Chain A
Amino acid sequence: MELLIKNGSVYDPSNGIKGDKTDISIKDGKIVEKVSSNASVIDAGGRLVMPGGVDAHSHIAGAKVNMGRIMRPEDTRAGIKPRTKITRPCTGYTVPNVYAMGYRYAQMGYTTVFEAAQAIMKARHTHEELEEIPIIDKGALTLFGSNWPTMDFVREKNMDKLAAYVAWGLLASRGFGIKCVNPGGGEMWGFGKNVTGLDDVVPNFDVTPKDIIVSLMKVNEMLGLPHSVHLHCNNLGKPGNYKTTLASMELAKQVKPSKDRQVLHVTHVTFNCWGGTNWGDFESKADEIANYLNNSENITTDMGQLIFGSATTMTADGPVQYANAKLLHAKWANGDVELEDASGVVPIFYAKQVSIHAIMWAMGLELALLTKDPYKVLLTTDHPNGGPFVNYPEVIALLMSNKKRQEEIKTLHEAVHKRTKIPGIERELDFNDIAIMTRAGHAKVLGLLDTKGHLGVGADADIAIYDIKPDQIDPSVEHAKIKSAFQSAAYTIKGGEVVVKDGQITATPMGRTYWVDASVPDEHTEIMMKDIRMKFKNYYSINLANYMVQDEYLTHPKVVRAGVIPAEVS
């Protein structure tokens, strides 16, 4: 099947194309040099063309997300749409059902999304949901930061065993990379405690969060995984935590990247750039984080932008969720996973007149606007923690228009003036910056830039066309048009197939699930498995034979090879 997109105003940052009128040729789901005269033609008519959106951090599937649905029928009711001839029914706003996840991302022109956290023991559940999310390609990061084997091997300083465990854990969970959430804190939450900084010693395991982070970064690079360590910092949710975030970033200096990408991705910075010592003197230190990013080379971040209104916080950071529930008097789900991690789900409503929320709203924007290189700050809302992903167009409009920001600031608690820098920031991002922060940057951070996030020959034919003519619009003034265009793509093309036209779903192919098969020397696996077998014999509540995610749960797999032994490209 051949397709030609003509007369597009193309933004393809990684190929250096900034608004040029370029044709894009598509054959068999891939972008090619040229197509025959039989190709069907889409005339973009000068409209904005970008690679399909990529999201490196979103909570779209698994135990936490489903607990959010089960405990929040009020949220399910907030987004109900009946089935059509080609679509299943849609429900939910912050915790949409599996169908709405796929359709709504596709409607915004997104074609690849990564679930940000799964415990190995609950990965089967994640994949059951991922396999039902239509259209988009996806994958899931696997939690390693409080796993007993991780901490044992870190304490033993045995990086070969740790690397073997990570490789095996990715296979067991069919995961894409290393997620590390409040390292050590997940274990301590097992007895209702938490770590308070990078140097605290985790009882019974005799390791520190710092040891865990550095060791995981080392084995990540030993294994040459496509993505780096993806860190949710310690002390998240506590005023003053920007110091912990900076100290965590500093650790990245100890490790050299094995590929052309960061060694550490620090996620949802809106929740970890907090100054002050309590809720009274709470202030933004996003500028300090941005300053650090501007002077370092091996770290990336994402915004975790706050969106006013309803959100559902969900994280493997169990203790922070208990604290949230207490603070907000909100309903609280907790989901400790034996030997692996914690988790919690708490609904929240972000209000413009709550000083903390107004300041948090500013933090994500400050980070994005004060960091010079857009490859270092990805656009996310940490869906649905900062707010649901359907609000990305709102964030795009805010980043592109100071006028919109100033209008918004007028409606917010006055603290936004005194305790953030946002009112004085005039920078307005352009379409190229946005294409980086919503596509190319994500693909680069994930290590998928060969086929995702760009429109060069050989890339997957994942393309979005938006109803904007970049040379005829002033985003600074016409921000409402920007927002509505990004909400509802004129076309979304996934793997060469038109899946959205004029904002409506036209086809629902199944996307693929990416996972990383990393090889390590057999003898390392053998030694590591002795420990694992002992843990199953004595501690786990299920048998090893029933632990690993079976092939049946990946009906459309896409395996990315990595490993200590360089593997042949397959």
Chain B
Amino acid sequence: MAVITDALCPFCGCVCDDLTIVTENNKITEVKHACKLGAAKIMGHHRIKAPMMRKDKHSEFKEVSYEEAINEAARILSNSKRPLLYGWASAVCEVHKKGILLAEELGAIIDNTATVCHAPSTLAVHEKGLPSATLGQIKNRADVIVFWGSNPVHAHPRHMGRYSVFAKGLFSEKGRKGRKVIVLDVRKTETANMADEFVQLEQGSDYLVVSALRAILSGHADVVPESVGGVSKDALLKLVDTLKTGKFVGIFFGMGLTQSKSRYKNIDNAISLVTELNAFTKCVITPMRGHYNVTGFGNVCAWETGFATAVDFSRGAPYYNPGETAANDVLIRKETDAAMIIAGDAGAHFPADSVRHLARIPIIQIDPYWNATTEVANVVIPVAICGVEVEGTAYRMDGVSLRMRKMIEPTHPPDTEILEKITERVKVLRGE
């Protein structure tokens, strides 16, 4: 029996680093301190045993060797005129680096799961920046916490305990009792049930509500109507007062804001609100990132290519124009003629039109697990699980870089090795 302490959780953007893992005979027998979601991922479930290929998408998979699968993957990619390399969020940064190199080699588009999650936040950051802070800053200082369009009780279960609502720190020794918690959402979530204030908005009216808050904050309450987005003016006035009089306000936002009507404009407006609040008090805003290392992909991609995501290498140099170069843009336009899906599940999370196109083109999947993408894949290459069987770097939702630990020996090769071999093979096929 071996016990690993201070282990990191490879599930959500909280990247909790206080887990204790018990292993026996290279199997994980117990996960302590993790939430249910994290523990389930670490304990593992049905794995893809061996590489698989099939002639067409209607036939059954046949197990093949890694060499065969890698050769076929390289053949598909090097024959492609408009390849897409998508996913990455459930892999460590070391994998991202290999992926970007392969994208350069192929002249491919590389994009990550943020495209259906927080990529609109990145667009807003282009417009307005990002006044943020590490989570410990919120833990130690925040007396007002806002969750807007996010539901940590379900999506980030330990966030409130470790970093925000209940966390105690130097200037927040009372924890929950010393904090005002506000939830803005279209429905009364379980997070809303725990809040001091729940502000229920009409679906798609976030932009309006942020605008009303900004108007009140800048002394123009007179132009705000009696009700905005289903929220009474009184409630809005009260909310502004709470925000202004807090000593440190931490705002967290989720996909309720990024993927609803007005998308990136919601975030753009919210960031402006945060900037303006800093004239009165300290206020920071942080996206509630989903996958544990989706933030890491954005970082690696930014320092290697200059752009955080949706990078098109077809010109030999990085080109970025979301709306044109994001994964769903090229899928819906039916431009992509082959795709590699790695450490992300496009099959489950992409819009129907995109998935329909994925079902028509050759797909290579690199993943430890069978998922919806497997159903449209031609070549499936199982790999070791990053953060459980492979160590490496991940970036928490607040951009803090952490080193994921290896808990057990892998039964499959790591993503990095597969990507290296595909890249080498692509070079051979292209006569380089």
What CA separation (Å) do A148 and B6 show in the bound complex?
A: 23
Option from B6, B281, B302, B315 in Cβ contact (under 8 Å) with A192: B281
Chain A residues lying within 8 Å of B282, measured Cβ to Cβ, are: 189-192
B128 & A89 in contact (Cβ 8 Å cutoff): no
CA distance A72 to B306 in the complex (A): 9
Name the A residues within 8 Å of B393 (CB-CB): 124, 128
Q: Is A332 an interface residue (CB 8 A)?
A: yes
Chain B contacts for A82, CB-based, 8 A: 315-317
* The one of B139, B168, B304 that contacts A338, using a Cβ cutoff of 8 Å: B139
Q: Give the contact stretch, choosing among B39-47, B215-223, B397-405.
A: B397-405
Which of A125, A148, A190, A541 is the one whose CB lies under 8 Å from B248? A190
Proximity bits, B283-297, A CB within 8 Å = 1, else 0: 010000000000000
B132 touches A541 (CB 8 A): no
Q: Would you list which residues of chain B between 22 and 58 have a CB under 8 Å from chain A? A: none
Bound-state CA distance A550–B139 (Å) is: 26
* A279 beta carbon closer than 8 Å to chain B: no
Confirm or deny: B72 has a beta carbon within 8 angstroms of a beta carbon on chain A. Answer: no
A325 beta carbon closer than 8 Å to chain B: yes
Contact B129 A97 (CB under 8 A): no
Report the bound CA distance from A95 to B19 in whole Å: 37
Residue B140 CB within 8 A of the other chain: yes
**Measured between alpha carbons, how far is A71 from B125 in the docked complex, in Å?**
5
Answer whether A546 and B17 are a contact pair too, CB < 8 Å, given A69-B306, A332-B275: yes
Contacts of B162 in A (CB 8 A): 541
A97 and B5 alpha carbons, distance in the complex (Å): 36
Q: Are B127 and A192 in contact (CB under 8 A)?
A: no
B373 interface contact, C-beta 8 A: no
| Cβ contact within 8 Å between B104 and A89 | yes
Q: Mark A58-100, 1 if CB is under 8 A from B, else 0.
A: 0001010111011111111100111100001111100111110
* A539 close to B133 (CB less than 8 A): no
B305 at the interface (CB under 8 A from A): yes
Q: Is the CB of A191 within 8 A of B141?
A: yes
Q: CB within 8 A of A83: which of B104, B122, B167?
A: B104
Total chain B interface residues with beta-carbon distance under 8 A: 65
Cβ–Cβ < 8 Å partners of B318 in chain A: 76, 80, 89, 91, 97
CB of B135 within 8 Å of the partner chain = yes
**Residue in A77, A338, A345 with the greatest tally of chain B CB atoms within 10 Å:** A338
* Docked CA distance A339–B140 (Å): 9
Tell me which of B126, B163, B169, B317 contacts A73 (CB under 8 A). Answer: B126
In the assembled complex, how far is the CB of residue B311 from the closest CB belonging to chain A, in whole angstroms?
Answer: 10
Contact B104 A76 (CB under 8 A): no
Within the complex, the shortest CB–CB distance from B26 to chain A, in Å, comes to: 22
User: Nearest Cβ in chain A — how far from B398, in angstroms?
Assistant: 8
- Of the candidates A69, A331, A545, the one whose C-beta lies within 8 Å of that of B6 is A545
B400–A122 contact, CB under 8 A?
yes
Interfacial chain A residues near B104, Cβ < 8 Å: 83, 88-89
Q: Which residues does chain A contribute within 8 Å of B350, judged by CB atoms?
A: none
Q: Cβ of B140 and Cβ of A338 under 8 Å apart?
A: yes
In angstroms, how far is the closest chain A Cβ from the Cβ of B33? Answer: 11
Q: Closest residue of chain B to A96, judged by CB?
A: B306
- Which A residues are CB-close (under 8 A) to B307? 69, 73, 76, 91
**In whole angstroms, what is the CA distance A98 to B93 when docked?**
15
Q: Which of B300-322 contact A (CB under 8 A)?
A: 300, 302-308, 313, 315-320
Contact indicator B137/A128 (Cβ below 8 Å): no
Interface flag for A538 (CB, 8 Å): yes
List chain A residues, Cβ under 8 A from B278.
192, 322
Knowing A76-B306, A546-B403 are in contact, say whether A89-B316 is a contact too (CB < 8 A): yes
Number of chain A residues whose Cβ lies closer than 8 Å to a Cβ of chain B: 66
Most buried by B among A74, A124, A148: A124
- Asked whether B247 is an interface residue with its Cβ less than 8 Å from the other chain, the reply is yes
Check if A63 sits within 8 Å of B399, measured CB to CB: yes
Q: Please measure, in the bound complex, the distance between the C-alpha atom of A550 and the C-alpha atom of B133, giving whole angstroms.
A: 24
Is B299 part of the contact surface with A, judged by Cβ < 8 Å? yes
B131 at the interface (CB under 8 A from A): yes
Partner of A97, one of B17, B140, B304, B400: B304
Q: Does the CB pair B170–A539 fall under 8 Å?
A: yes
Check A543 against B134 for contact (C-beta < 8 Å).
no
Contact assessment for B402 and A542 in the assembled complex, using a CB-CB cutoff below 8 Å: yes
B136-163: CB near A (< 8 Å → 1, else 0) gives: 1101110000000000000000000011
Distance in Å from the Cβ of A81 to the closest Cβ of chain B? 6
Within 373-396 of B, Cβ neighbours of A (below 8 Å) are at 391, 393, 395
A322 to B393, CA, bound (A): 31
In the complex, are the beta carbons of B402 and A124 less than 8 A apart? yes
Given A73-B320, A333-B132, A335-B132, do A191 and B247 touch, yes or no (CB 8 Å)?
yes
**B74 on interface, CB distance cutoff 8 Å:** no
Closest CB of chain B to A491's CB: distance in Å? 27
State how many angstroms separate the Cβ of B412 from the closest Cβ of chain A. 21
Residues of A within 8 A of B300 (CB): 128
Name the one of B128, B168, B391, B395 contacting A332, with C-beta atoms under 8 angstroms.
B128
Q: A70-B122, A191-B248 are in contact. Are A332 and B129 (CB under 8 A)?
A: yes
Contacts of A77 in B (CB 8 A): 306, 320
Does A542 contact B17, Cβ atoms closer than 8 Å?
A: yes
Is the C-beta of B298 less than 8 angstroms from some C-beta in chain A?
A: yes
| A437 interfacial contact with B, CB 8 Å | no
Residue in B8, B127, B316, B319 whose CB lies within 8 Å of A546: B8
B18 at the A interface (CB under 8 A): yes
Residues of B within 8 A of A81 (CB): 317
Contact (A336, B284) CB under 8 Å given A73-B307, A122-B400, A331-B129: yes
Contact between A97 and B402, CB atoms less than 8 A apart: no
A129 and B127 alpha carbons, distance in the complex (Å)? 25
User: What residues of chain B lie closer than 8 Å to A333, measured between beta carbons?
Assistant: 125, 129-132
Cβ contacts B258-271/A at 8 Å (1 or 0 each)? 00000000000000
Q: Indicate if A350 sits at the interface (CB-CB under 8 A).
A: no
Chain B hits for A189, CB < 8 A: 282
- Establish whether residues B299 and A97, one from each chain, have CB atoms under 8 Å apart when the complex forms: no
Which B residue sits closest to A340, measured CB to CB?
Answer: B134
Give complex CA distance A69, B308 in Å.
8
Within 8 A of B (CB), among A314-352: 322, 325-326, 330-339, 345-346
Q: Is A407 an interface residue (CB 8 A)?
A: no
Residues B136 and A339 in contact, CB atoms below 8 Å apart? yes
Closest chain B residue to A74, Cβ basis = B126
* A83 B316 Cβ-Cβ under 8 A: yes
Q: Nearest CB to that of B399 among chain A residues?
A: A63
Complex: A89 Cα to B301 Cα, angstroms: 12
Determine the chain A residues whose CB is within 8 A of the CB of B132 once the complex forms. Answer: 333-336
Known A-B contacts A70-B302, A82-B315, A546-B402; A332 and B131 likewise in contact (beta carbons under 8 Å): yes
Is the CB–CB distance between A91 and B137 below 8 Å?
A: no
Asked if A542 contacts B400 (CB within 8 A), the reply is yes
**A543/B399 contact (C-beta < 8 A), A96-B306, A334-B130 known:** no
- What residue in chain B is nearest A550 (Cβ atoms)? B403
User: Which residues of the other chain, A, contact B167 by a CB distance below 8 angstroms?
Assistant: 541
- Given the contacts A190-B282, A336-B284, A337-B134, A70 and B93 also touching, CB distance less than 8 Å: no
| A121 contacts B400, C-beta separation under 8 Å | yes
The answer on a CB contact under 8 Å between B18 and A91 is: no
Chain A stretch 105-161: residues in CB contact (< 8 A) with chain B? 121-122, 124-125, 128-129, 132, 148
Is A552 positioned at the interface, with any CB of B under 8 Å from its CB?
yes
Q: Is the CB of B303 within 8 A of A66?
A: yes
A332 and B167 CA atoms in complex are apart in Å by 28
Task: Beyond A325-B129, A334-B133, A541-B134, list 5 extra A-B contacts (CB 8 Å).
Answer: A73-B307, A88-B104, A89-B104, A204-B171, A550-B403
9 A-B residue pairs with Cβ-Cβ distance under 8 Å, sorted by A, are: A66-B299, A69-B308, A70-B122, A75-B306, A80-B317, A91-B307, A121-B400, A190-B141, A345-B129
Q: Which 10 A-B pairs have the closest CB atoms?
A: A338-B136, A76-B306, A91-B306, A82-B316, A541-B136, A192-B282, A545-B6, A331-B129, A336-B133, A334-B131
Residues of chain B having any CB pair with chain A under 8 Å: 5-6, 8, 17-18, 93, 97, 104, 122, 125-137, 139-141, 162-163, 167-171, 247-248, 275, 278-279, 281-282, 284, 298-300, 302-308, 313, 315-320, 391, 393, 395, 399-403
